[in-house]
Amino acid sequence: MELLDLIMTLIWSLIVGTSSAVLLNAKPVRYMLELFNADSFELFNCALCFGFWYSWIWLLVIGIPVVPAFLFAGLGALTSELVTRKILFN
């Protein structure tokens, strides 16, 4: 990857991680998870897990290769976790 591609992937992973935290804490999403009894699944309940899978899928959709998308999804998951803690506890 070139430097510009690396920087753009970094920016995208931060954006997607932040959007996953906002999406996870949105009331309509919480209501849908409760409606289908999916709020007890760790995949959807944990901001870190949800942020990872959401980031990885979106990074693949925008055209990032599989291995870099997998690595940068970890950064998106960390961003999601930190933003969720800031939203819930402040």
Looking at residue 37, its pLDDT comes to 83
Domains of the chain: total: 1
Query: CA dist 32 to 19, 27, 39, 74, Å?
Result: 18, 9, 9, 26
Q: Is the pLDDT of residue 86 over 90?
A: no
Taking the C-alpha atoms of residue 45 and residue 32, their distance in angstroms, rounded to an integer, is 12
In sequence order, the 6+-apart residues with CB closer than 8 A to the CB of 45 are 33, 39
pLDDT digits (tens, 9 = 90+) for 39-71: 776 666 688 888 999 999 999 999 999 999 999
The residue range of the domain holding 19 is 3-89
Taking the C-alpha atoms of residue 29 and residue 21, their distance in angstroms, rounded to an integer, is 11
Looking at residue 26, its pLDDT comes to 85
| SS3 assignment, position 62 | coil
Q: What whole-number percentage of the chain has pLDDT above 70? A: 91
